[in-house]
Amino acid sequence: MLGVSPNTLRSWERRFGFPEPKRTAGGHRQFDLAEIEALRAAFEETQNISSAVSVARERGNGPASPARLESAFGRFDEDGANRLIEESLTVRSVERTIEEVLLPTVEALAPVDDAPPTPEYGFAWRYATGWLAATQRTAPPASRPEGVLVFDASRAPDAEALQAQALELVLRRGGLRTLTLTADSDPNRLAHAITALDPRAVVLTGHGATLDALGRLVFTARRVAGEDVAILDYRGAIPHAGSSTVEILPDGPLAAREAILARIDGRAGSGRFARGPSRAIGL
């Protein structure tokens, strides 16, 4: 786990008194897992054993954090990632764990520009999408009558696909009836789904759809659900300006959910949300 030999570990014990093992009746050392994980995380940060011991002693294992989860993903350690998520859930809600731990960790590993994804990112992305899907299956049933339709234009393994999945989960956990469809859905076949959901809001997310494709989806949603349905942009789905406004949601799933609820409940006074001014889409 630490990447050192048993002799090195024994020398650290003699020199620093940390990590401090217990002894079995036969004299074998038994190290506490929390101490080892704390030392490993501190050593990865400092690259100096003396400093790492001081840091590990000072803060202990600490709460689950993006840095610790990134370390688990970097080792392809699914069990370690599971332990960290469970730790986070003891001190954070599901929503806060998603927004403060899971999503930032995967985004930190995401490839930059057109670089190919690393194996570590692929592992982290698959872990995250699997965890979000499993958590969604245990979400309580809708407690509100309003529906929200999400058109997702992201593609796996894009980090934006996780953002769309996270938004759907927190909307469901907020009591809303939620349906997510791909943005390349045939507009001619959408009427039944839209009629069944009867959405109060339509959210556009992901970066893989053209303005024309989004316009057709919005036109179909308004034709079936009515002109009063709110059209909302989550994380820059609209590629450029056009002739009529689409309201912009805040970037995080929790803030976006609050903005959607405010819009549905008539609490969004200016018709604009925290992230910035309205964008536009030609319809």
Do the beta carbons of residue 150 and residue 181 sit within 8 Å?
A: yes
CATH code: domain of residue 232: 3.40.50.2300
Q: Order the strands of the 177-182 sheet from edge to edge.
A: 177-182, 147-152, 199-205, 230-234, 244-248, 279-281
Q: Are 183 and 209 in contact (CB under 8 A)?
A: yes
Based on the fold, state whether residues 70 and 154 are members of the same structural domain.
Answer: no
pTM of the model: 0.76
Each residue's pLDDT expressed in tens, for the chain with a length of 283 residues:
888 999 999 999 899 988 888 888 888 998 877 788 788 888 888 888 998 888 877 766 566 788 889 989 999 999 999 999 998 898 889 999 999 999 999 999 999 888 999 999 999 999 999 999 999 999 999 999 999 999 999 999 999 999 999 999 999 999 999 999 999 998 888 999 999 999 999 999 999 999 899 999 999 999 999 999 999 999 999 876 555 568 999 999 999 999 999 999 987 544 444 444 445 454 4
Asked if residue 261 and residue 161 are part of one domain, the reply reads yes
* Judgement on whether residues 204 and 175 belong to the same structural domain of the protein: yes
Kind of pairing, strands 279-281 and 29-30? unpaired
| Cα–Cα dist 146/176, whole Å | 6
Number of domains in the chain: 3
Helices 66-74 & 119-137 angle (0-180, nearest 10):
120
Nearest to 232 by CA among 265, 188, 189, 263: 263
Judge whether 1 lies within some domain.
no
Q: Which residues pair with 152 in a beta bridge?
A: 182, 205
199 and 183, same domain (yes or no)? yes
At residue 188, the 3 state secondary structure works out as: helix
CB distance 221 to 229 below 8 Å:
yes
Query: Hey, how many other C-beta atoms are within 10 angstroms of the C-beta on 208?
Result: 16
Q: Are residues 159 and 252 in the same domain?
A: yes
Residue tagged 């009427």 (tokens): 191
Q: Which two tokens stand for residue 75?
A: 């080792």
| φ and ψ at residue 141, rounded to 5 degrees | -65, 160
Q: What's the domain range around 54?
A: 6-59
- Give CA–CA dist 23/29, Å, rounded: 5
Residue owning tokens 């349906």: 179
153 and 265 inside one domain: yes
- Answer yes or no: are the C-beta atoms of 264 and 201 closer than 8 Å: yes
DSSP state of 189: G
Secondary structure, 3-state, 229-254: CEEEEECCCCCCCCCEEEEECCCCHH
Same domain, 189 and 254: yes
pLDDT value at residue 183 = 92
Phi, psi (degrees; rounded to nearest 5) at 201: -145, 145
Q: Residue 160, Cα to own-chain centre: how many angstroms?
A: 9
